[in-house]
Amino acid sequence: MDAQFWHDRWASNEIGFHKSEANPLLVKYLGELSLPKGSRIFLPLCGKTLDIGWLLARGYRVAGAELSAIAIDQLFAQLGVTPTITKVGALNHYHAPQVDLFVGDIFAMTPALLGPVDAIYDRAALVALPQDMRARYAAHLTTLTAQAPQLLISFEYDQRAMEGPPFSVSEEEIRKHYGQRYDIAVLTSLDVPGGLKGRCPATERVYLLTKGRR
């Protein structure tokens, strides 16, 4: 899987992963991060998620990374905002009040470019990546955000029954990637109604990752 895969998906509007409302798991569990209003939340591989508008409406600031300019153009259209766009190295920085979105390869981002964040909300990033990219992504995300706490959502299912994305990412794998740097708690575990994409049984899990005492 490479960048062209995602560019093709957005260009052809094959975005079944995009939801028509804010994620109910975000709505229910954001409070577990104990963030005061005005906190800056980073959404990796954010797409045009309505979660961004929901967070902004509740007084949070948002930063995000996304490969597709199509997705970000559509996101700002949803918000009814015209951003300023600046070229920063290999990335394009879309800025509007309380919003900073970076378009391009997330691995090209640096801590200096992103700036300080108070938390990470990973709804669709880790599960969007094939297994051989996930360790690199987790290490990069941890460094990029200075080990900010995370609200992380994943799926588990029989990977033989369906190709990703979203991929199946087990609790064991999450602990392998993040356990040396974070304390990890499972907040909930839910069966996906009707199965994932209506094709196979799956479990959706919400994790809270907080800085470990190591």
Supply the DSSP string of 66-118, one letter for each residue: ES-HHHHHHHHHHHT---EEEEETTEEEEEETTEEEEES-GGG--HHHH---S
Q: What mean pLDDT, rounded, does the chain reach?
A: 91
- So what's the pLDDT on residue 164? 87
The tokens for 124 are 């669709």
Nearest one of 206, 208, 205 to 183, comparing CA atoms: 208
The tokens for 195 are 């199965």
- The residue-averaged pLDDT of 148-167 equals 95
- So what's the pLDDT on residue 21? 81
Position 18 pLDDT exceeds 70: no
Instruction: Return all residues near 4 (Cβ < 8 A) that are at least 6 apart.
Output: none
The 10s digit of each residue's pLDDT in 91-108 is 999 999 999 999 999 999
Position 193 pLDDT exceeds 50: yes
Between CA 134 and CA 138 the distance in angstroms is 6
Instruction: Please give the share of the chain, as a percent, with pLDDT higher than 70.
Output: 90
At 67, the pLDDT band (50, 70, 90 cuts) reads: very high
Position 137 pLDDT exceeds 70: yes
pTM of the model: 0.90
Fold of the 3-13+22-211 domain: Rossmann fold (3.40.50)
- The residue-averaged pLDDT of 179-195 equals 96
φ/ψ of residue 205, rounded to 5: -125, 145
Position 132 pLDDT exceeds 80: yes
- So what's the pLDDT on residue 61? 98
At 15, the pLDDT band (50, 70, 90 cuts) reads: very low
- So what's the pLDDT on residue 35? 98
Instruction: Please give the share of the chain, as a percent, with pLDDT higher than 90.
Output: 86
Position 17 pLDDT exceeds 60: no
- So what's the pLDDT on residue 2? 56
